[in-house]
Amino acid sequence: MFFKRKTKTPCRACGENASLDVVGKVAPTHPGPFHTSEFELLHCPECDSVYLNPAPTDDDLRVLYEESVQFADDHYTSDEQIGKILEYYGSAVRDRQLLSHGEARVLEVGAGFAWVSRASKDADASCFTVAQDVSAECADKCAWVDQYHVGSLESLPASEKFDLASMTHVIEHLVDPESMLGAISSRLKVGGKLFVTAPHRPTGWSPKMGIDAWKAYSYLHVPAHVTYFSDTWFKRVAPRHGMKIVHWDAQHEDGQAFELVLQRI
The pLDDT value recorded for residue 259 is 98
Q: Is 42 in contact with 36 (CB distance < 8 Å)?
A: no
The whole-angstrom separation of Cα 254 and Cα 238 is: 25
What CATH number labels 9-264? Answer: 3.40.50.150
The pLDDT value recorded for residue 6 is 57
Domain ranges of the chain: 9-264
The whole-angstrom separation of Cα 174 and Cα 82 is: 25
Kindly give the residue spans of alpha helices, DSSP state H, lying in the chain: 58-65, 74-77, 79-95, 115-123, 177-185, 212-215, 231-237
Structure pTM?
A: 0.94
Q: Is 72 in contact with 82 (CB distance < 8 Å)?
A: no
List per-block mean pLDDT (blocks of 10 residues) for the chain, which spans 265 residues: 65 96 96 94 97 97 82 75 96 96 96 97 98 94 97 94 98 97 97 98 94 97 98 98 98 97 98
The pLDDT value recorded for residue 72 is 61
The pLDDT value recorded for residue 1 is 47
Q: Which residues, in sequence order, are CB contacts of 162 under 8 Å at separation 6+?
A: 105, 106, 107, 130, 187, 188, 189, 192
Cα distances (Å, whole numbers) of residue 175 to 38, 107, 166, 243: 17, 21, 18, 20
Q: How many CB atoms lie within 10 A of CB 201?
A: 26
The pLDDT value recorded for residue 7 is 72
The pLDDT value recorded for residue 40 is 98
